[in-house]
Amino acid sequence: MDKPLEKPKEAIAFLVSRLFGPESIMPLSLWFVISFMGDFDWREDPLLLAITAFFFLIAPILIFLIFYFLGYLTDIDATERKQRPPVLIAKQISLSIGLFFVWMRAPGLTVQLYTWWYLITLSILLISFIWKISIHMTAASMLFWAVYLIFGSSMLAVFILLLPIAWARLTLKKHEPLQLAFGAVLPLILWGIVSLTLG
């Protein structure tokens, strides 16, 4: 389980980490942005809205919580790299089901964004077998890129929020700088691939 925090700075860093947690606010915000602010009209297909909410949001969070409360993870951040793959595999199965329905029913940009989401989580899974990438930074970067892609350059300033997240993860000694940097740029790399192949 998580260790008690000893210093005020660590407490602030912990709060920032939870606020931008990859198992809570970040996926919820990303799902909301894609579902309600892109080219998908949920009023025309409420079933797809429910499907994406379950397979991309609810089920992955429940899977993580089940692994955590059953003691398969030593802390809420899944700090131990070798503990990550089983959780990520289970989550990827859920996302695979959700993506199938997205491809069958959703319009173009929504397909691109959910495919991008899927490829990012798949990349994190594969990387986790040999290295530990920052899922916090990846999740935050995903959200910020989605906001930028939908709303345009007026939202570029949102990327500044990556700095306090990186500070928090370093303060809590959860990651090295390279792991944070790669987590931040991975969504950009994969969006380039998705936009070239599906755009």
In a domain, 47, yes or no: yes
Closest by CA to 121, choosing from 168, 156, 78, 85, is 85
What's the confidence (pLDDT) of residue 43?
A: 86
In whole angstroms, give the CA distance from residue 120 to residue 77: 18
In whole angstroms, give the CA distance from residue 81 to residue 72: 12
What's the confidence (pLDDT) of residue 42?
A: 87
In a domain, 1, yes or no: no
The identity of residue 115, as a single letter, is T
Residues in the chain: 199
Do 163 and 169 touch, CB atoms closer than 8 A?
no
In whole angstroms, give the CA distance from residue 168 to residue 164: 6
Q: Which residues of the chain have pLDDT under 70?
A: 1-6
Do 40 and 120 touch, CB atoms closer than 8 A?
no
In a domain, 134, yes or no: yes
Helix H or strand E encompassing 31: helix 25-37
In a domain, 2, yes or no: no
Do 162 and 75 touch, CB atoms closer than 8 A?
no
* Domain around 45: 8-198
What's the confidence (pLDDT) of residue 6?
A: 61
In whole angstroms, give the CA distance from residue 77 to residue 97: 25
Do 186 and 138 touch, CB atoms closer than 8 A?
yes
Q: Give the other-Cβ count within 10 Å of 7's Cβ.
A: 9
State how far Cα 32 lies from the chain centre.
Answer: 13
What's the confidence (pLDDT) of residue 3?
A: 56
What's the confidence (pLDDT) of residue 5?
A: 55
Name the token pair of 155. Answer: 């939202």
Per-residue pLDDT of 138-158, as tens digits, reads: 999 999 998 998 888 899 999
In a domain, 3, yes or no: no
Total domains present in the chain: 1
Residue 94 makes CB contacts below 8 A (sequence gap 6+) with 55, 56, 59, 60, 63
In a domain, 39, yes or no: yes
